[in-house]
Amino acid sequence: MKRILFITPYAPSNLGAAMKFTKKTIENLADSFLVDLVYFKAEGEFDYVPDNGNIRVIKKLTVGRKDRLISVLQRPWLYPIFSVRYRKKLAKELKRLAREGNYNLVFLDHSQSFIYGRLFPLVPKILMSHDVIYQRVSRTSGFLLSEWCKLTENKMMNQKNSFIYSFSTKDQQIIKSQYGYNSYVTSGNVDELVLSTNPTVISDTFVFFGQWVRKDNSEGLIWFFDNVYPHIKSSFFFKIIGRGLPQSILDKIRDCNNVDYMGFVDNPYQIIAEARAVLSPLFSGAGVKFKVLESMACGTPVIGSEIAFEGIPTEYSSLMIQSNTIEDYLLAMENVTKDITKRQSIREKFLNNYVKSQLVEHIKQIIGQ
């Protein structure tokens, strides 16, 4: 069997949508190829344990604050997002593997791993851009930092024998307009548990769903409870799903009788399918939001900001309720449909028509299998 080297800056798991994409992609590749895996994990995070004999973990690196600082200082001319996972020892080991010539393809997952692609100039590479970092940075930083990021991202994407992938035609267009590179679009994986959801009733519950360690998510949640929640009617109930809720938010909701922080849930999709809507107030970030896609795959409307719906085709606009102000959220929450039949119809259309991933098939064409 042909062999793929897969490098990812996060531990494959079911803890978050992007991590699930990584895990599923590795497993899909292992059906046809031998996969050697290099991954990074946060301190205290569980190890990834493959359940397929074709997957072999060859390197696992723990990431702490000191590790990140050392990595950035080793490549100070690069915008930090692109160098934060750089390790000299790992680069030396990968150079050795490149010389041995055992790999038919290198898969670089997330922009933070692109820095290792240059060690394999003769090997075909997949650059999986989960979002365009320049777009993310330009929304929160000034001109000089944005230009530094743009120059670095251009350098990272400018690699011989590589194929760039993103999750939306919007990101594809940004990559072309900003950097001049052609790229491909693949969809995120819809969790198989989504397919088994079958709501029998729509409650007056609203769901927040995400990784709260991400500042993009937690800032939006804080905004909602500071500005919208005080005006909410008492019959509404809120469930917050996902790990890492900051203490500042826990303190805010401690005395809220209609708010339930559930933490990480193995299967959140039945809860989402029976919710009146998912709430996604986002004011920063970039790229397609997997939590929005998964909610729509459940047939559940999403009430959120423009950023929440980036890259998702407008033909599914009936599930995307754009809200920007306090009044927008209050009105949308009051009027969002509870019609199960209508929601199931939209869900069916979404699952049948949303772009399916051709990533693995393309990889088979690239390396001749």
Q: What is the DSSP string of 87-104?
A: -HHHHHHHHHHHHHT--S
**Which domains, and CATH codes, for the chain?**
3-189+355-366 (3.40.50.2000), 192-353 (3.40.50.2000)
- Phi, then psi, of 5 in degrees rounded to 5: -100, 125
Per-residue three-class SS string for 217-245: HHHHHHHHHHHHHHHCCCCCEEEEECCCC
CA torsion angle 178 183 186 188 (round to 10): -40
pLDDT per position as a tens digit, 302-351: 999 888 888 877 777 778 899 999 999 999 999 998 888 888 887 887 77
Tokens 């251009």: give the residue.
154
Q: What is the pLDDT along the chain (369 residues), one digit of tens a residue?
A: 999 999 999 999 887 778 888 998 999 999 999 999 999 998 888 899 998 999 999 999 999 889 999 999 999 999 999 999 999 999 999 999 999 989 999 999 999 999 999 999 999 999 999 889 998 898 888 999 999 999 999 999 999 999 999 988 889 999 999 999 999 988 766 677 787 787 888 999 999 988 888 888 899 999 999 999 999 877 899 999 988 888 888 988 888 889 999 998 888 999 999 999 999 998 887 777 878 888 888 889 999 988 888 887 777 777 889 999 999 999 999 999 888 888 888 788 777 766 455 788 889 888 876
How many Cβ atoms from other residues are within 10 Å of residue 238's Cβ? 20
Give every CB contact of residue 259 below 8 A, 6+ residues apart in sequence: 237, 238, 239, 240, 253
Rounded to whole angstroms, the Cα distance separating 83 from 76 reads: 8
